[in-house]
Structure 1
Amino acid sequence: MFYGRLLRERVRHHRAPHSLMAVRPTLSYFELRGRAEASRLLLGDLGVEFIDRRITSPEEWEALKQDVPFGGLPRYQDERVDLTQSHAILRYLARTQGLVGLDGLPGENDAAAWVVYDEIQEVLSETQEHLWRFAWEADYQDTGETYANGILRWFLGALQQWYSEHGEGEYWVGDTISHIDYLAFAYLDEVRAFFPETLARVELLAAFHARMQARPRIAEYIDSGHRPVVFGMAVDGPKVDPDVTLEPGQMFHNPWTQPIVLGG
């Protein structure tokens, strides 16, 4: 009885305000790929129309920060929910867009079905966080080769083993695409940008990355100029995708520093 009451209270807490009813969902984040990119990829690839809100000024961020429960982004709002945790957002999108509960897996109410997704989502999250933390080490520019040939290579090898055992050819879980594939692509795309030779050594993951990148809507998004050129922040500034051609004087607007010139 207590649990049911608690659950109802949580649903009410997460329910979007009435003013958001019957409008396109909004995904709010910074002018970064970071923690929002997997959700952007998922929504875009499925053809879901959404507002991709980018927070680029200190004033806008200070005003918004007062309105989010834990003071962080991304934030996803639709007519039913207002969520501010990136992996909760991904799981919600997977369920509402029909990406989980695949043929050949236990039924949707079976815990064994969900835990397959949850396990690899946590692993991918941890490996992604490790990559981000590495960029905050004072000497990371000088230790990239050591990182690539050590812990990164081990992570990718372990991921490839999991992928080969649980996927059925193209995807990470089962035989159709799920939220896990978008999260894996977002992570591997950052590896591609800064450690391309290391990614090339894990052939199954490199092939998966290439297939995802070639999906028509993802390819269109990559080529559109709308995708953020910055993966995230490092100890020495923004981590810019080296494969992106920058415009002369192109700026990176963000809430934490003065605008930064990216293009020479």
Structure 2
Amino acid sequence: IAMAPSSLELFYFPIRGRGDLPRSLMIDGGLEFTEARIPKGEQWLARKPDFVFGQMPVLRVDGSRDIAQSHAIARYLAKLTNPSLLGDTIDEAANVDMWYYQTDDVYMSVIGPFYRAFDTIEQLFNDKWTSWMAPFEKALSCSEYLANGKLSLADYHLFDIAEVMLHFKPQLLEQTPWVRAHRDRMASRPGIAKFLEYVKGLPFTNSGHL
């Protein structure tokens, strides 16, 4: 495990969204951090130029070095807390990446309609959820984890998706029992239980719908 920095500060909106992955990795990994929650609107517009790409989340390391982009933040935190989350060999790393980026594709498919097409979201999820989850159901029917038979970054991100569905349409999550069981297994980790307590009450999106 790499030496922990003297300070970590997460900048994000006061929502769960893309903030959940770094939060869960830091809390489950035993890292101390602070968080600056910047509301959308005037406060965000005033701060936007401060960040390299004009977007959040951003992780500030040691008070001076900023890491932007969700995937870069997640990989940094994985290396800091448990490098095995990224795979221990080149083949394992490729397998983790494969599942992680597929998970992110589905995450975007799930989150996007809350902002763009909420009037048709229930029909979309009814039509697509089980097909989106089919590869994950198959993998998890054979193993407790998505990649290499052990916990990886992909598992944390799939947990993000399951949490959204658990709060929005739990009956759909019940239609994918292996994904539901995976979510519950992740939630039973003491660090993830602490994470869930930490984000309790935060909305998932800035859309006003969840």
Q: Per the shorter chain, which TM-score range?
A: 0.7 to 0.9
Deviations 1:178-222 (A, max 9, x none): 222211111110011112111112111111111122222322332
> Residue 85 of structure 2 contacts residue 151 of structure 2 at CA under 8 Å; is this kept in 1?
no
Counterparts in 2 of 1:228-243, with a 5 A limit? 228-234=201-207, 238-240=208-210
> Residue 101 of structure 1 contacts residue 113 of structure 1 at CA under 8 Å; is this kept in 2?
no
Please say if 1:156 is aligned against 2:133.
Answer: yes
Please say if 1:113 is aligned against 2:92.
Answer: yes
> Residue 27 of structure 1 contacts residue 50 of structure 1 at CA under 8 Å; is this kept in 2?
yes
> Residue 14 of structure 2 contacts residue 37 of structure 2 at CA under 8 Å; is this kept in 1?
yes
Q: Could you tell me which residue of structure 2 aligns to residue 215 of structure 1?
A: 189
The 10-residue stretch of structure 1 (43-52 or 209-218) with the greater mean CA deviation from structure 2: 209-218
TM-score scaled to structure 2, two decimals? 0.85
Q: Which amino acid aligns with 1:38?
A: L
> Residue 33 of structure 1 contacts residue 228 of structure 1 at CA under 8 Å; is this kept in 2?
no
Counterparts in 2 of 1:49-68, with a 5 A limit? 49-56=32-39, 58-68=41-51
The 10-residue stretch of structure 1 (84-93 or 175-184) with the greater mean CA deviation from structure 2: 175-184
Aligned length: 205
Among residues 78, 96, 101, which one is paired with 1:122 in the alignment?
101
Q: Which amino acid aligns with 2:72?
A: A
Partner SS state of residue 208, structure 1: helix
> Residue 31 of structure 1 contacts residue 228 of structure 1 at CA under 8 Å; is this kept in 2?
no
The answer to which structure has the higher helix fraction is: 2
Identity %: 26
Deviation at 1:101, TM superposition (A): 6.5
C-alpha separation in 1, matches of 2:26 and 2:174? 28
Q: Could you tell me which residue of structure 2 aligns to residue 100 of structure 1?
A: 84
Partner SS state of residue 205, structure 2: strand
Deviation at 1:71, TM superposition (A): 0.8
> Residue 99 of structure 1 contacts residue 177 of structure 1 at CA under 8 Å; is this kept in 2?
no
Please say if 1:137 is aligned against 2:137.
Answer: no
Counterparts in 2 of 1:1-264, with a 5 A limit? 23-56=6-39, 58-79=41-62, 81-100=65-84, 107=89, 110=90, 112-135=91-114, 136-137=116-117, 139-140=119-120, 144=122, 146-164=123-141, 168-169=143-144, 171-224=145-198, 226-234=199-207, 238-240=208-210
Deviations 1:56-76 (A, max 9, x none): 264542343112121100001
Higher gyration radius (CA): 1
What is the CA RMSD across the aligned residues, in angstroms? 2.5
Deviation at 1:147, TM superposition (A): 2.1
Flag the structure with more relative contact order, 1 or 2, with Cα contacts below 8 A and sequence separation at least 6.
2
C-alpha separation in 1, matches of 2:10 and 2:26? 10
**Structure 2 unaligned residues grouped into runs of 5+:** none
Q: Could you tell me which residue of structure 2 aligns to residue 6 of structure 1?
A: none
C-alpha separation in 1, matches of 2:187 and 2:85? 24
C-alpha separation in 2, matches of 1:96 and 1:217? 16
**Structure 1 unaligned residues grouped into runs of 5+:** 1-20, 241-264
Q: Which runs of 4+ in 1 moved over 4 A?
A: none
Deviations 1:88-138 (A, max 9, x none): 111111112124268xx663xx2x222111111111111111112222215
Partner SS state of residue 76, structure 1: strand
TM-score scaled to structure 1, two decimals? 0.69
